[in-house]
A and B are shown apart, each in its own frame.
Chain A
Amino acid sequence: MAAFIGRRFISMLITLVLVSVVGFIVINLPPGSYLDVYRAQLMVLGTSTAEQQIKALEKRYALDKPLYYQYLKWITGFVRGDFGRSFQYNREVSELVWNRLGFTVVVSVCSLVFSWIVALPIGIYSATHKYSAADNIFTFLSFIGLSIPSFLIALVLMVISSRYFGMSVGGLFSRAYENAPWSWAKLVDFLQHLWIPVVVVGLADTAGLMRVMRGNLSDILSMQYVQTARAKGLPERVVIYKHAVRNALHPLIMNLGMSLPGIISGSTVVSIVLSLPTCGPLYFNALRSQDMFLAGTFLVFMAIMLVIGNFLADIALAMVDPRIRYE
């Protein structure tokens, strides 16, 4: 097991380096740089000193140097916690990111937990009561859930909560609490706002998870060892939970590993619609305006989450399935 973890850890580091290189190149691929955007803005303002300012900025961020130099400068700073500066906001990237990361993680983790708590029992029920009325209803609902874009659900929920519950919509706080320090009242307000993004973001995953769980478990239920467990005289409940469900979890654990980066970037569109102070919209804007250090930082963060997610998923799989441990 230790050797297995060690091997996985080294390949994890190599992957991260490669991702950061490729990511940096891709971000720089579109013609021009943030400075071109900036220059255009200055031109509109009609500032005469535009060229000089641009030259100064170019020097400061080494933008006149070749790409590999820029990369090395950025990545060596990155490992020391200096993520570079955002051109667009004219602030340290770290400030911008940490600020939003907390809310992002809360929203994402809540919606992840929500989707698992809803999807697993329904998936198990559907698989064990295949083609029953309830199963058909769940199947129908899950297809609707899969096919309706989540921003539409967000809009509908916003309308409902503002029209029928008289709540302020959008954001994570009412206006009164937006800049207030944390207090019980602010926490309550936060929780009142939290459920919409959690439900909206979670719902899309729920539908998918439900289908995966149903399909998997019904495959497993036709396996011979499930029949063996029944032949022992075990109650059906034990047969399903101890012998079948545990074998049906593999793809879901893999899925969990893949969904970790989504915790940072996830549901950008929903966040924009709901004007949530999360990382998604920030990342989206950074890409649009070629704010390369900000975008690059997000990219590496997501890569780290993905790699860690897969790493954790592998360890979890090895714990669930002894066949993986010994390979």
Chain B
Amino acid sequence: MAVQERELPANEVLLEVKDLRTQFFTEQGVVKAVDGVSFTIKKGKVLGIVGESGCGKSITALSIMRLLPEPRGKIVSGTITFYPPEGGSVDITRLDRHSAEMRRIRGRHIAMIFQEPMTSLNPVHTIGDQIIEAIQLHQDVDKETARKRAIEVLNQVDIPHPERRINEYPHQMSGGQRQRAMIAMALSCYPSILIADEPTTALDVTIQAKILRNMRDLQRQYGMAIMLITHDLGVIGQMADEVLVMYVGRKVEQADVRELFLNPLHPYTQGLFRSIPLIGLKGKKLVPIAGSVPSPYNLPPGCYFAPRCPRAMDICRQEAPAEYEVEPGHFVSCWLYK
């Protein structure tokens, strides 16, 4: 098994998340949306984050962008260290989310696209205005140059006749085109990291494949890193270099994509793979994971997956497992691998 070199030179790491804890304070109690997650995003790589809805993958992204609905939801501990291209480092969790420094990172260095292409563009401004606004916000260029750049980037995301479509409003475009326009807007300032939160979930499958291929091409062309959030293991297989599996706010497994697909270790990851239908494999039954995700207000002690786990032991129900490096670069949080 070709295992990726883990110890990359420091300048290759763009973002380092350490023991991030993000909580929501609701009337029913505290929800630990992200509960001690660590990972790094490396230059030119695609990090896939996979998990069910509500597992904290989107909240992790919003924590990095500092777009949480504060003070209802906020980062309570941990660090998010960003290494800007011009050198140095900055801990995003320590910035004021409205500060000029944070706003320079947001959109300029770390761009984000969202799941709902139908509603993620403002209906009263043209596509062009919305992209030009982003360009002029972060780069010292005149409107004409910004417009040229907008047309160029729309062309790169395969929107036909960009010089004409730049004047159109979002409602004149299809869902796929709107998502392409969102990607164009995100890329317009040459970000070093693109966070894509379920970018193709709302689109139909053929368009999904085209957009993913386009994203992969642009990622190489721009040399940027992508943090790809999805619940679709197929998308992960097509796009990711490294994968992080999350369950109820915790990271349960992390590995190189091929290693994870060939040798999933955590019972939850194994369950995910068993529940994907594969065309052409006869006689193999789909096995859903038994039970359901625990309520965030009433989490079991120990491993959160223990109540659903077919291989749960006594200790699983009492104590949360530590993270074990089973193979170089392959981490799993499970007592089975102690």
A233 touches B106 (CB 8 A): yes
CB nearest to A244 among chain B residues: B122
B108 touches A228 (CB 8 A): no
With contacts A320-B124, A321-B123, A322-B123 taken as known, whether A230 is within 8 angstroms of B171 at the C-beta atoms is: no
Tell me which residues across on chain A come within 8 A of B120, comparing CB atoms: 224-225, 227-228
Tell me which residues across on chain A come within 8 A of B122, comparing CB atoms: 225, 228-229, 243, 247
With contacts A232-B137, A235-B103, A322-B124 taken as known, whether A224 is within 8 angstroms of B119 at the C-beta atoms is: yes
CB of A36 closer than 8 Å to a CB of B: no
Partner of A233, one of B103, B123, B124: B103
Most chain-B CB neighbours within 10 Å: which of A231, A235, A246, A320?
A231
Tell me which residues across on chain B come within 8 A of A230, comparing CB atoms: 67, 106
CA gap between A209 and B34 in the complex, in Å: 40
Partner of B169, one of A227, A236, A322: A322
Considering only residues 202-259 of chain A, those with a C-beta below 8 Å from chain B are 223-225, 227-236, 242-243, 246-247
CB of B211 closer than 8 Å to a CB of A: no
B172 touches A326 (CB 8 A): yes
A-B pair count, CB < 8 Å, reads 71
CB of B232 closer than 8 Å to a CB of A: no
CB nearest to B195 among chain A residues: A231
CB of A59 closer than 8 Å to a CB of B: no
CB of B185 closer than 8 Å to a CB of A: yes
CB of B111 closer than 8 Å to a CB of A: yes
Partner of B133, one of A223, A227, A231, A234: A234
Chain B window 121-140, contacts with chain A (Cβ cutoff 8 Å), 1 for yes, 0 for no: 11111100000011001100
CB of B65 closer than 8 Å to a CB of A: yes
**How many residues of chain A have a CB within 8 Å of chain B?**
22
CB nearest to A320 among chain B residues: B124
With contacts A321-B123, A321-B124 taken as known, whether A227 is within 8 angstroms of B106 at the C-beta atoms is: no
CB of B244 closer than 8 Å to a CB of A: no
CA gap between A230 and B108 in the complex, in Å: 12
With contacts A246-B124, A247-B124 taken as known, whether A231 is within 8 angstroms of B107 at the C-beta atoms is: yes
CB nearest to B98 among chain A residues: A236
CA gap between A228 and B134 in the complex, in Å: 11
Considering only residues 207-222 of chain B, those with a C-beta below 8 Å from chain A are none
CB of B50 closer than 8 Å to a CB of A: no
B137 touches A225 (CB 8 A): no
CA gap between A213 and B336 in the complex, in Å: 57
With contacts A233-B108, A323-B123 taken as known, whether A228 is within 8 angstroms of B114 at the C-beta atoms is: yes
CB nearest to B123 among chain A residues: A323
CB nearest to A230 among chain B residues: B67
Partner of A224, one of B105, B107, B116: B116
Considering only residues 136-157 of chain B, those with a C-beta below 8 Å from chain A are 137-138
Tell me which residues across on chain A come within 8 A of B119, comparing CB atoms: 223-225
CA gap between A228 and B115 in the complex, in Å: 11
9 closest A-B pairs by CB: A233-B107, A232-B107, A233-B103, A233-B106, A224-B119, A225-B122, A322-B169, A224-B120, A232-B134
What are 21 A-B pairs with beta-carbon distances under 8 A?
A: A224-B116, A225-B121, A225-B123, A227-B67, A228-B121, A228-B182, A230-B67, A230-B106, A231-B111, A232-B134, A232-B185, A233-B103, A233-B134, A234-B103, A234-B133, A235-B103, A236-B98, A247-B122, A321-B124, A322-B171, A323-B171
